[in-house]
Structure 1
Amino acid sequence: MENLLLLHGALGSAAMLEPLKQALQDSFRVHTLDFSGHGGKPLPQEPFTMQQLAQEVLAFLEEEEIGSAHIFGYSMGGYAALSLALQHPERIRSIHTLATKFAWSPEAAEKETKLLNPEKVAEKVPQFAATLAQRHAPQSWQQLMRHTAGMMRGLGNSPILTAGTLPQVQLPVQVTVGDRDNMVTVEETLWAYRLLPNVRLQVLPATRHPLDTLNTEDLSAQIRQFIRQVAVSPTPIR
């Protein structure tokens, strides 16, 4: 069996990917990890960066003695996977992104980080705050949120995936987005699709951003299909 690594999104955790992991275990050796500060993993004192998250993926592959793996990255996880592919393409067989935001600018970062105010979240959506507290205990979800906002500002000022770098990612990629995603537009996903040289595009109908709104059986089937297509025809015809 081939290795498949599942990467969670910002403020998420490996536990959120457990249903998908279970659904795919009959086809792959499935691995998950928690990024720093997520799922109870220690939070660094300094705000983290996307480069750091990519290095955490590489470190995980090294620790688990995984020579190469297919990667499924949800949201931020997809960005981290593609960032790693720019530096270590030999460690990645293919990348399947879902709901990954590609269009980062100072304006986009400002819009996203307005939603990452811990005090306002605790006041206006206490149920979500309680979920975050449980998901990331014993770490501070408030500090994690601040770190995440800092990372987004860093991407806004200096994005890693650009019109200059995306064409360098030669390995097979599938970019997937929901047509009703309120955080990631179909247009920005098309922008990435047009720049990646070895890529497939999928737009999911009537689909929003949250991972838990997707049907696990359908998503696992899509991941299987993509990896099988890569094995049969590594270079797709657009």
Structure 2
Amino acid sequence: MENLLLLHGALGAASTLEPLKHALAENYNVYTLDFAGHGGNALPDENYSIELFAQNVLDFIDQQQLEQVHIFGYSMGGYVGLYLAQQHPDHVKSVFTLATKFAWSEETAAKEVKMLNPDKIKEKVPQFAAVLDKRHTPQPWEQVMHKTAAMMQQLGKQPLLTPNALAQIQQPVQVSVGDLDNMVTLEETIAAYRSLPNARLLVLPATKHPLETIPVSRITQEITLFLANTPAAIPA
């Protein structure tokens, strides 16, 4: 069976992808991992970055002796997956992104970071704070959030997936977004699709950004359809 690696989003963890992993396990060798400082992993001394998380994936591929993988990446996980496809094309056979933000600038980063205020979250959405606490224990979720905010600010200053970078990715890619996503626009998703040489575009109707609001059966179906039409060999 083909190897399929599922990558979680910002503030997420491998646990958020367990339902999807279970649904796909019959047809693929499915793997998940927690990025550094997520899911209880020790907080790194260095800043969070796409480069750091990409290295986490490379280390995991090496440890599991996988060599080549298909990647499904939710939100930030999709950004990591595409960055890996560009920087290490020999390891990545295809990438499927869901709700991945491509249009990073200092203005968009500031908008995202404004929502990453632990004190306000504790006050206004304590249920979400409790979820984050459970997800990242024994690490303080507040630090996870602060490090995530700093990473977003850095992406705003220096985006990695520029149109030129996307144009270098030869692997099959499917970019998908919900039409009700309030964090990722249709316009930026379409722009990324047009920059990628071998891409497909999927717009999910009546779909918001949070992963847990999207039926697992729908994501499973779309991943299966995409991989069924993906060549066995990595493009030269």
* Bin for the TM-score computed over the shorter chain: over 0.9
Structure 2 equivalent of residue 174 of structure 1: 174
Q: Give the total of aligned pairs.
A: 235
Structure 1 length as normaliser, TM-score?
A: 0.96
The residue correspondences of 1:92-131 to structure 2 (distance < 5 A) are 92-131=92-131
Structure 2 equivalent of residue 45 of structure 1: 45
1:62-91 per-residue CA deviation (whole Å, 9 max, x = no partner) reads 111111000000000000011111110010
The offset of 1:218, in angstroms, is 1.4
Structure 1 equivalent of residue 34 of structure 2: 34
Give the aligned CA root-mean-square deviation in angstroms.
1.3
Distance 1:233 1:89 in 2: 12
The offset of 1:169, in angstroms, is 0.5
Whether contact under 8 Å (2:93, 2:233) holds in the other structure is: no
The offset of 1:36, in angstroms, is 1.1
Decide whether aligned partners of structure 1 residues 50 and 232 sit closer, same or farther in structure 2, where only a CA change above 3 A counts.
closer
Structure 2 equivalent of residue 85 of structure 1: 85
| SS of structure 2 residue aligned to 1:22 | helix
| SS of structure 1 residue aligned to 2:96 | strand
1:145-200 per-residue CA deviation (whole Å, 9 max, x = no partner) reads 00000000010000000021110011000000000000000100001001000000
Structure 2 length as normaliser, TM-score?
A: 0.97
- Between the two proteins, what is the percent identity of the paired residues? 57
The offset of 1:232, in angstroms, is 7.9
Distance 1:226 1:65 in 2: 24
The offset of 1:46, in angstroms, is 2.8
Structure 2 equivalent of residue 194 of structure 1: 194
Whether contact under 8 Å (2:93, 2:234) holds in the other structure is: no
| SS of structure 1 residue aligned to 2:202 | strand
Gaps of 5+ in 2: none
The offset of 1:45, in angstroms, is 2.6
Distance 2:219 2:116 in 1: 28
Decide whether aligned partners of structure 1 residues 110 and 216 sit closer, same or farther in structure 2, where only a CA change above 3 A counts.
same
Structure 2 equivalent of residue 56 of structure 1: 56
Gaps of 5+ in 1: none
Structure 1 equivalent of residue 7 of structure 2: 7
Whether 1:20 aligns to 2:17 is no
